[in-house]
């Protein structure tokens, strides 16, 4: 049986775990990342990077690299069906990042992997399944499926919403499902929106549209159908917006029902939770990955402080948990507002009037900041 020791172990090599590893390595803290996958999904998945997260990526020298590969979204166009209502400009947001970036998650992860390998060569272990966790008096031991043991002073669990290690630790979780479904897909962009996002209000439910690199565009529709075909998605887009989309240019579709999850605590002993292992919010509004990165910023600070002053560990970890649970609750409220705006039904006329009001200053400034996670 082999043993590997480090200051911090990170379980999960997705965007949150990789970013946390970069932050720690940049501080000179010896860390290892254990990632179960050997290959990464090439689906676009999470595409939006909001200004607070972009400022965080700047800390590890990746803001410029990510921006160079992404579409820079400076405006959100709002329609009532095919009728243009107005524009929400992100130029009212605080500088220097007065925009949202759109980039497929696999490209973001590739940049994070490369940066972590620069900062901590050989410390990203793929194909490794952390099966059990045991907290000891002076550290934490993780045993993998093949019997290898990793030991560290502290552990960060970033292995996703179905975290097995979180379950082993017995951390209580509150969760719930929303009674709505959405169908999304990526297509060749045939609109004239260029780099702008577009939101279409409709009595039948919202349609959202976001640019992607390489001439692609993501479309998301509220639906009560179980049909997740590209043809179904294109038909819905046409009926609600008037836009004709060629279903044969579709690179992926995904039918999903949003849920919310929040652990009762984001720390236990020497272990911190971050990202989807700690909280899940509705993906409408694109906050999830960003929220996890902001977890990582505070987790890195807490762990660095605990390594420097071990007697302060409990207070630091408790403070981290309180702060990030509050942030998750705020993100959940923003996501629920975003979902409410797009619901079908009799309130459509009221929402149309509300949208016109929101698009006028000073409210437009507030909502531009809210939609970009800056309030």
Q: Is residue 22 part of a domain?
A: yes
Do 109 and 233 lie in one domain? The reply is no
Residue 356 confidence (pLDDT) above 90: no
Q: What is the pLDDT of residue 4?
A: 86
Do 329 and 351 lie in one domain? The reply is no
- β-pair type (130-136, 139-144): antiparallel
Q: How confident is the model over 67-78, as a mean pLDDT?
A: 97
Do 191 and 336 lie in one domain? The reply is no
Do 172 and 279 lie in one domain? The reply is yes
- The per-residue pLDDT for range 146-200, each reduced to its tens digit, is 999 999 999 999 999 999 999 999 999 999 999 999 999 999 999 999 999 999 9
Do 252 and 264 lie in one domain? The reply is no
Do 163 and 264 lie in one domain? The reply is yes
Do 16 and 127 lie in one domain? The reply is yes
- For 145-214, the DSSP string reads TTS-EEEEEEEEE-S-TT-HHHHHHT--EEEEE-S-EEEEEEEE--SS-TT-EEEEE-TT--EEEEEETT
pLDDT tier for residue 346 given thresholds of 50, 70 and 90: low
- The per-residue pLDDT for range 57-66, each reduced to its tens digit, is 999 999 999 9
Q: How confident is the model over 73-91, as a mean pLDDT?
A: 95
Query: How far is Cα 328 from Cα 275, in angstroms, rounded to an integer?
Result: 10
Do 191 and 286 lie in one domain? The reply is no
Q: What is the pLDDT of residue 351?
A: 78
Do 108 and 229 lie in one domain? The reply is no
Domain enclosing residue 277, as ranges:
3-47+104-177+259-340
What's the predicted TM-score (pTM) here? 0.96
Domain tally for the chain? 2
pLDDT tier for residue 306 given thresholds of 50, 70 and 90: very high
Residue 285 confidence (pLDDT) above 70: yes
- The per-residue pLDDT for range 129-143, each reduced to its tens digit, is 999 999 988 999 999
CATH number at residue 358: 3.30.70.2450
Q: Is residue 89 part of a domain?
A: no
pLDDT tier for residue 124 given thresholds of 50, 70 and 90: very high
CATH number at residue 39: 3.50.50.60
Whole-number CA gyration radius for the chain = 21
Do 12 and 154 lie in one domain? The reply is yes
Contacts of 332 (CB under 8 A, 6+ apart): 260, 262, 279, 281, 282
pLDDT tier for residue 92 given thresholds of 50, 70 and 90: confident
Q: Is residue 155 part of a domain?
A: yes
Do 28 and 113 lie in one domain? The reply is yes
């Amino acid at each position: 049986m082999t043993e590997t020791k480090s200051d911090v172990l990170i379980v999960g090599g997705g965007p949150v775990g990789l970013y946390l590893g970069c932050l720690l390595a940049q501080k000179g803290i010896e860390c290892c990342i254990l990632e179960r996958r050997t290959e990464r999904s090439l689906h676009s998945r999470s595409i939006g990077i909001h200004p607070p997260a972009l400022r965080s990526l700047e800390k590890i020298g990746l803001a410029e690299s990510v921006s160079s590969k992404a579409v820079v979204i400076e405006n959100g166009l709002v329609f009532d069906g095919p009728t243009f209502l107005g524009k929400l400009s992100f130029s009212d947001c605080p500088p220097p990042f007065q925009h949202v970036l759109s980039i497929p998650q696999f490209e973001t992860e590739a940049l994070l992997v490369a940066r972590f390998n620069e900062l901590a060569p050989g410390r990203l272990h793929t194909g490794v399944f952390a099966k059990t966790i045991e907290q000891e008096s002076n550290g934490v031991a993780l045993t993998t499926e093949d019997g290898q043991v990793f030991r560290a002073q502290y552990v960060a669990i970033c292995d996703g919403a179905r975290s097995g290690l979180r379950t082993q630790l017995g951390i209580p979780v509150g969760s719930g499902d929303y009674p709505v479904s959405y169908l999304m897909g990526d297509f060749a962009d045939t609109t004239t929106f260029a780099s702008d996002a577009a939101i279409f209000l409709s009595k039948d439910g919202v349609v959202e549209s976001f640019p992607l690199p390489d001439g692609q565009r993501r479309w998301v529709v509220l639906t009560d159908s179980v049909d997740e075909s590209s043809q179904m998605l294109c038909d819905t887009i046409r009926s609600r917006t008037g836009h004709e989309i060629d279903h044969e240019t579709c690179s992926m579709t995904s039918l999903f029902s949003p849920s919310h999850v929040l652990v009762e605590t984001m720390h236990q002993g020497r272990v911190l939770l971050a990202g989807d292992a700690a909280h899940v919010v509705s993906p409408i509004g694109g906050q999830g990955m960003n929220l996890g990165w902001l977890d990582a910023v505070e987790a890195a600070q807490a762990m660095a402080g605990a390594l420097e002053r071990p007697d302060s560990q409990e207070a630091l970890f408790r403070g981290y948990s309180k702060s990030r649970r509050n942030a998750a609750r705020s993100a959940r409220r923003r996501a629920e507002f975003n979902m409410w705006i797009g619901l079908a039904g009799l309130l459509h006329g009221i929402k149309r009037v509300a949208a016109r009001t929101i698009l006028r200053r000073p409210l437009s400034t507030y909502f531009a900041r809210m939609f970009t996670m800056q309030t």
